[in-house]
Chain A
Amino acid sequence: MDAFRLLELLILVAVLVGFVGLLLSRNLFLKVLAMDVMGSAVVALFVLVAARSGLQSPILTAPLAPGAVAAPVPMADPIPQAVILTAIVIGLSIQALLLVVITRLARIDPSLDLASFDAGRLDRGGRR
């Protein structure tokens, strides 16, 4: 198994761990944290995809002296990096919004237990 496959597998395990955490943890804060674990794993996956072709950042350096030839360095793929930069920003803002809501929910139940909010069975049909 080469390093790429191994890292890919580890990242997918991290995504799965985050999903299971979201399913099983009873604390809302931990749920949001579990979602963040998934998000970080996806960031790692895109960085890994970008690093397939090389590790050097694809950035132009200062112009070479005339006549000199640049050594061909394997460059990283800039497309997945650009994509994941957008996704990181979106993920960050969603994380911030969720944490704001959680601080307000903490005034209702400081222990942030899921059961105290998810009481659909008690008031079916919805009070307002």
Chain B
Amino acid sequence: MAPLTGQTLLIGWLLLPYAAAFLAALLPPLARWLALVCCLATGAVAVAIQAGVLPASLSLLGPYGVELQPDGLAAPFLLLDALVCGAVVLDGWRRTLPGPFLLLLMVLHGGLASAFVAVDLVSLYVTLEVVGIAAFLLILASRSERTLWLSLRYLLIGNTVMTLYLVGAAVVYLTQGSFRLEAVAGAGAAALALLLVGLLTKAGLFLSGLWLPRTHAEAPAEVSALLSGVVVAAGVVPLLRLSSVVPALAAVLPLIGVASAGLGLLFALAEADAKRLLAWSTLSQMGLVVLAPAAGGLYALGHGLAKAALFLVARRFPGRDLAGWAGRPLAAGVWVPLWIGSLSIVGVPPLLGFFAKSGLDRALPGPMGLLLSLLTVGTAAVYARLWGAPLLAEAPASPAAAMTPPEPAWSPGVLLLLLALVLLGATEATRTWSPALLPAAAKAALVLAAGVGLHRLLQPLRRRPWFRLPDLEGFPDLVGGIGVVGAGLLVWIR
């Protein structure tokens, strides 16, 4: 028998979700436990990578084979994958989930884990398509007419951009004779632009990410949590990897990130629907993730955990309309996660979001840091709209509640995510503790106050709308946005 090396462990871990999904199809009662085991395994691998006990790269089947790199860049994303998928499993523990939900969740989990560690163009293509198909089927699982069209749109757009990505991969192979990510640097601007169109669209960035808000807002709550929490990160990780080996991309990506952050913020501030506000905020936050590859992982982790918690409690919102938001009290199981999640995204101290944001701040050069603060003020103004709702004093004893089995007041999945936000924040605090964090904390408080002020300023404007943002979410707009981004990159990249 072969000795148990790090390599065999890694391969076993990558295969585990697919084997578990197969087993879950045969033995449905085991599905929840199997899904949980997959999430635990991924979490353990993420911790092992941080501890440095696993090989940092492995190459399977020779020089043209599969290249995997479970390195420090992948670790936070793997942890995010484990926590968000685990939270969704726990959230649905007491409910009957639609048909193959858990099976698809395991496939999605496995696809994401592979996408985070793959470093050759072909493996990335395959894993991104697996993620895309699994997400498509998950959106479809609720079987409503509305999601039918949304899922079709999602897969159509996703496959189209991946086709363009393949053209780029073919050009890379033609000129460099290899599918490695490093080879992209010498393959010319056209190949890079085509690859970028695929990855930017998958990551939900700027004009090519315009598919994101409606898809994330209309999908069922637990699917939205998965999509906004981790699925967009599948496109971000290759982008971060590419930008560290391709100098031309390292110059372009921060600008796309800032543009995406601004666009998402503008639409989130003008939005009238709570779930769509969260979705637009995802588009904006993904822009911040790609600003600096060194700090992107932690930022994506902080944002993904908080956003997944927010989307999971969105299922229990008394209504989605933001106009009457302040008049509808929220139960404690919704109100507390809403505050903790949004405060973390805004970057308020002891939570993980604060350390992610100050890490990003340190990684950025001077003027960009100021821009980040301005964008954070906008983010605070966006979330201040959700803070208007008061806390429900006590649960009303309605007779209807006795008919259906009562849902627990606190979802265990949401609790897991909040706990992760607080505990990971505490870990970061002990790891990176320095007196320089005190001014950062003061700055965060200032930014928060400015955000609330901006929210107060904007509130009267919303009652008397004096201009409307264009609706950019029709299908022709999405395809056009992809075309514009592709053409722009072709012209721009040198």
Question: A-side interface residues toward B, CB under 8 Å?
Answer: 12, 15, 19, 22-23, 28, 31-32, 35, 38-39, 42, 45-46, 49, 52, 79-80, 83, 86-87, 90-91, 93-94, 97-98, 101-102, 104-105, 108, 114, 117-118, 120-121, 124-128
Q: Which 4 residue pairs spanning A and B have beta carbons closest together?
A: A125-B273, A117-B149, A23-B479, A101-B152
A125 touches B149 (CB 8 A): no
B146 touches A127 (CB 8 A): yes
A selection of 10 A-B contacts at a CB cut-off of 8 Å is A12-B167, A35-B159, A46-B166, A91-B159, A94-B155, A97-B137, A101-B148, A120-B473, A124-B272, A126-B275
Residue of B136, B156, B275 near A35 (CB, 8 A) is: B156
Chain B positions 122-179 with a Cβ under 8 Å from a chain A Cβ:
122, 125-126, 129, 133, 136-137, 140, 144-146, 148-149, 151-152, 155-156, 159-160, 163-164, 166-167, 169-170, 173-174, 179
Q: How far is the CB of B339 from chain A (nearest CB, A)?
A: 24
Chain B positions 156-212 with a Cβ under 8 Å from a chain A Cβ:
156, 159-160, 163-164, 166-167, 169-170, 173-174, 179
Distance of A97 Cα from B479 Cα, bound (Å):
20
- Return the CB mask of B21-36 against A: 1 if under 8 Å, else 0: 0000000000000000
Interface residue count on the B side (C-beta < 8 Å): 46
B471 touches A42 (CB 8 A): no
A118 touches B160 (CB 8 A): no
Given A124-B471, A126-B320, A79 contacting B149 (CB threshold 8 A): no
B492 interfacial contact with A, CB 8 Å: no
B388 interfacial contact with A, CB 8 Å: no
Q: Which residues of B contact A35 (CB under 8 A)?
A: 156, 159-160, 163
A126 touches B474 (CB 8 A): no
Residue of B nearest to A78 (CB): B64
Distance of A18 Cα from B321 Cα, bound (Å):
39
B146 touches A45 (CB 8 A): no
Residue of B155, B166, B167, B217 near A98 (CB, 8 A) is: B155
B214 interfacial contact with A, CB 8 Å: yes
Q: How far is the CB of A118 from chain B (nearest CB, A)?
A: 5
Q: How far is the CB of B61 from chain A (nearest CB, A)?
A: 11
Chain B positions 102-134 with a Cβ under 8 Å from a chain A Cβ:
122, 125-126, 129, 133
Q: Which residues of B contact A49 (CB under 8 A)?
A: 170, 173-174
Q: How far is the CB of B411 from chain A (nearest CB, A)?
A: 19
Residue of B166, B320, B474 near A118 (CB, 8 A) is: B474
- Return the CB mask of B445-476 against A: 1 if under 8 Å, else 0: 00000000000000000000000000101111
Given A120-B473, A124-B272, A125-B273, A94 contacting B159 (CB threshold 8 A): yes
B357 interfacial contact with A, CB 8 Å: no
A97 touches B64 (CB 8 A): no
B167 touches A19 (CB 8 A): no
B12 interfacial contact with A, CB 8 Å: no
A31 touches B156 (CB 8 A): yes
Q: Which residues of B contact A91 (CB under 8 A)?
A: 159, 163
B276 interfacial contact with A, CB 8 Å: yes
B483 interfacial contact with A, CB 8 Å: yes
B159 touches A128 (CB 8 A): no
B173 touches A105 (CB 8 A): no
Q: Which residues of A contact B71 (CB under 8 A)?
A: none
Q: How far is the CB of B41 from chain A (nearest CB, A)?
A: 26
Q: How far is the CB of A113 from chain B (nearest CB, A)?
A: 12
Given A35-B163, A128-B146, A93 contacting B133 (CB threshold 8 A): yes
Given A42-B170, A98-B155, A114-B475, A128 contacting B144 (CB threshold 8 A): yes
Q: Which residues of B contact A38 (CB under 8 A)?
A: 160, 163-164
Q: Which residues of A contact B156 (CB under 8 A)?
A: 22, 31-32, 35, 98
Distance of A125 Cα from B218 Cα, bound (Å):
9
B318 interfacial contact with A, CB 8 Å: no
Q: How far is the CB of B323 from chain A (nearest CB, A)?
A: 10
Q: How far is the CB of A101 from chain B (nearest CB, A)?
A: 5
Distance of A118 Cα from B145 Cα, bound (Å):
12
A120 touches B170 (CB 8 A): no
Distance of A19 Cα from B275 Cα, bound (Å):
31
Distance of A109 Cα from B126 Cα, bound (Å):
33
